[in-house]
Amino acid sequence: MSETEDKKARLALALRMLERAGIVDHNGHASIRLDDDRMLINIGARPRCRLTAADICTIDFDGAVIEGDGKPPLEFHLHAGIYRARPDVGAVVHAHPRWSTYLSMTGHDYGPVYAQGVLVYPMPVLDTPDSINSPEMAARLADVLGDRPAALMKAHGSVAVGTDITEAFVLATYIEESAERQVRAMQIGTPYRFSDDEIAACTQKLRSPALFAKTWDHFQAKLEDGS
Better pLDDT: 177 or 227: 177
Residue 186 has pLDDT above 80, yes or no: yes
Q: Determine the pLDDT at residue 152.
A: 98
The pLDDT of residue 171: 98
pTM of the model: 0.97
pLDDT level of residue 180 (50, 70, 90 thresholds):
very high
Residue 36's pLDDT band, with cuts at 50, 70 and 90, is confident
Secondary-structure class of domain 3-218 per CATH: alpha beta
pLDDT tens digits along 98-116: 999 999 999 999 999 999 9
pLDDT tens-digit readout, 125-148: 999 999 999 999 999 999 999 999
Question: Taking 90 as the threshold, does the pLDDT of residue 10 lie above it?
Answer: yes
Nearest to 55 by CA among 15, 2, 25, 83: 15
pLDDT digits (tens, 9 = 90+) for 199-214: 999 999 999 999 999 9
Domain ranges of the chain: 3-218
